[in-house]
Amino acid sequence: MAKDHIRDYATAAFRFWAQEGGTVNVSGLEQFKRKIISEVEARSAGCIGEVRTYDIATPVEDWLLAQEKAYRKYGAEIADLQAVDEVLRISQYMHNGKMMRQAIEIVYFSDASHALAKGDIEARVHKAELMIPASYRTVYRLLNRARELFAENRGLRAS
């Protein structure tokens, strides 16, 4: 069997997506963007009442530039979340797409805020095999295809 070089990165991206509030029906990317905007607004709120001189025309432009700067700061995270969103969107139109989304949800999304221990993925695959129902090999094949789609959408060299 060939080495899967993107497995850990893609797994971490799927889990990050779930940590940010993403589910099969709710976009983790949108949740993350809201968090960034809240962060920018909190910083801007701290400046209310103080006299500021703007290098640009208005406070609105200052806020927009701060938001753009925050998006650039979190560019890699946003790109990962966009790729996960795209995988879930594409899977809606695939032959085994529903099974793939279920496998992703059971294996990667469950308990995403806790670190993975040895054997966690295997135990979750076994759980998915019983819940979907699908064979053990089919669940691994679906997860592998999801990781490949992630790599393609993220622009990673996966071959």
What local confidence, expressed as pLDDT, does residue 95 receive?
A: 87
3-state secondary structure 23-40: CCCCCHHHHHHHHHHHHH
1: confidence class by pLDDT, cuts 50, 70, 90: very low
Rg (alpha carbons) of the chain, rounded to whole number: 19
Q: What is the pLDDT of residue 3?
A: 61
Contacts of 82 (CB under 8 A, 6+ apart): 29, 153
pLDDT band for position 138 (cuts 50, 70, 90): very high
For residue 82, is pLDDT > 70?
Answer: yes
* C-alpha 99: how far from chain center: 19
Question: Is it the case that residue 139 has pLDDT exceeding 90?
Answer: yes
Tens-place pLDDT, residues 23-79: 666 677 777 888 888 887 777 665 554 545 555 567 777 777 877 888 888 888 888
Residue 11 clears pLDDT 70, i.e. is over it:
yes
pLDDT at residue 127 above 90?
yes
At 115, is the secondary structure helix, strand, or coil?
Answer: coil
The CA-based angle 25-29-30, given to 5 degrees, is 75
Mean pLDDT of 85-110: 90
Q: What distance in Å separates the CA atoms of residue 104 and residue 88, rounded to the nearest whole number?
A: 9
pLDDT at 108 over 80: yes
Classify residue 90 by burial, with Cβ atoms within 10 Å: 0-12, 13-18, 19+.
middle
What region does 119 belong to: left with phi over 0, alpha with psi -120 to 50, or beta? left
Tokens of 37: 């905007």
